[in-house]
Amino acid sequence: MSEAALEGYVRINREKGRFMVDKRAFYDQALFERERAYIFDRCWLYVAHESEVALPGSFLTRQVGSYSILFNKDRDGGIHAYHNLCTHRGVLLSTEKCGRGNTFSCPYHGWVFDAKGKLLDQGARSGYPPGFNEDGTYNLHPVPRLEQYGGFYFMNMNPRAVSLEKYLAGAKEWIDLIIDQNERGLEVTPGEQEFRVNFNWKSITENQIDSYHGPSLHSTYFQYAAKRAGDTPQQQAAAYAGGGFAFGNGHGGFELGIKVGKPVADWIPAFGEETRPLIETKKAEILAKWGEERGTRMTTRTRNLLIFPNTILNDVLSLSIRTSYPESATSSRSNIWSLVPVGEDPLVRKVRLQNHLTFVGPGGFAHPDDYEMFDRRAIADHQSPPFLHDYSKGMYPGYAEDFMVNVGDQSDEAQHRAWWTQWDRMLRGEETMEG
């Protein structure tokens, strides 16, 4: 796709206060190929949380972007991310989602690798000269870059990429608000939710930082949440106030005061009286350690954070990690993992997971609503004349603020404008995120 062909996908008119995106961004196959090369092969992509390979010998396989990745911990505690293929004939090395083992064996010709990626055996010694692998050519191939922040591991296919910490920019503050909720750390619960859907990955991604749609699309949930919290609808609506934020490098999110109950430290009647002293004691501990202002944000306010391009950390009625990856211009794969405090009381853990499922997943209040809207947009995009999607809410005529680092109302679209600006800059090659 040429530079000229990219003209007009994102259209900005500051004088009129308009920020528009051509609908082709949601189905153009040539654009999808460019996204893979200019975004997914240059940005930091979430792989896994450290708790998923807590024990030496632990491993998991995960598809990250268009790559199958073998993520593991060796006997010495080193954590690695290898391309999940045998270096002999390129056969997929492991088909297990997770497990434990100090070696990985290819069933085709019997090649064996240790947990540090070293080739141990070729199945047959004959035919190979002495020192066949002295230079390590046939060891497992690691991803070019693997770094972590607060136990969240990310990979980058660009060896010249900026560090993960620099890449995260202002998003680190919100990650810290999640990490600091528990002194003993966090862990991912076993299992995951996975969706394969027939629409563009960006519909899922941008929805996660869209607070605007909540009261209208999820009205049933808001009525349900008010009843569970013992609030009136008016009280719940008043608590919906908050901010939308752009943190730099395309990252953004929104923060609200809505009362949905946070098992970490914000009790509501629906959690049951038996959990009240446990949750309120935890809240007091957090406030004492982090102070009234930060402690209140951690315990009672909710937030959705999008790390460009496609990693979402939800600190709402539960903690969760989400990704959405394209499989084609019009098909996507989305995964959700539940994140919980280490050592959490079993009663509170049960409430947390139940709270999570009331909103998330095929039986939750939110996902059926959201995914119907994604389908409707995909259908409309193919059955309508040329059209521009509008992301102008909160952008007044003569708008002069920096799209990339900004603060607005939670129901405005400042965070979307930051994401789309970074998307546009990277596709054009104006930004490479290299050091």
So what CATH class is 45-150?
Answer: mainly beta
Kindly report the pTM of this predicted structure. Answer: 0.95
Cβ-Cβ contacts under 8 Å for 397 (sequence gap 6 or more) = 15, 16, 17
Q: What are phi and psi of 4, to 5 degrees?
A: -60, -35
pLDDT (tens digit per residue) in 130-155: 899 999 999 999 999 999 999 999 99
pLDDT (tens digit per residue) in 333-342: 999 999 999 9
Question: At 230, which amino acid appears?
Answer: G
- Distance CA(175)–CA(251), nearest Å, equals 12
Angle between the 346-359 and 219-229 helix axes, to the nearest 10 degrees?
A: 150
Cβ-contact 251, 304 below 8 angstroms: no
381 conformational bin, left if phi > 0, alpha if psi -120 to 50, beta if neither: alpha
- pLDDT of the residue at 215: 87
- Distance CA(159)–CA(94), nearest Å, equals 25
Q: Could you give the percent of the chain with pLDDT greater than 90?
A: 84
Residue corresponding to tokens 């505690």: 77
Burial class, 14, CB count within 10 angstroms (exposed 0-12 / middle 13-18 / buried 19+) = middle
Strand partners, 246: 252, 406
Superfamily of domain 170-428: Naphthalene 1,2-dioxygenase Alpha Subunit; Chain A, domain 1 (3.90.380.10)
Residue corresponding to tokens 């609908």: 23
Residue corresponding to tokens 């309508």: 384
Average pLDDT per consecutive 10 residues, the chain (435 residues; last block may be shorter): 66 96 96 96 98 98 96 97 97 96 95 97 90 95 98 98 98 97 95 93 96 90 82 72 94 91 91 95 96 95 96 94 96 95 95 88 83 95 95 95 92 96 96 94
Cβ-contact 411, 256 below 8 angstroms: no
Residue 39's CB is within 10 A of a number of other CB atoms, namely: 21
Question: Rg of the chain's alpha carbons, rounded to an integer?
Answer: 23
Residue corresponding to tokens 């603060």: 407
- pLDDT of the residue at 3: 55
- Distance CA(172)–CA(176), nearest Å, equals 6
- pLDDT of the residue at 296: 94
134 DSSP 8-state letter:
T
Q: Give the SS3 label for residue 378.
A: helix
Residue corresponding to tokens 């995260």: 168
Closest by CA position to 283, among listed 306, 301, 269, 310? 301
- pLDDT of the residue at 1: 54
Cis previous bond, 142, omega within 30: no
406 DSSP 8-state letter:
E
- Distance CA(116)–CA(76), nearest Å, equals 9
Q: What are phi and psi of 198, to 5 degrees?
A: -105, 60
Mean of per-residue pLDDT scores for the chain: 93
Domain ranges of the chain: 45-150, 170-428
Q: What are phi and psi of 156, to 5 degrees?
A: -140, 130
Cβ-contact 210, 130 below 8 angstroms: no
- pLDDT of the residue at 409: 92
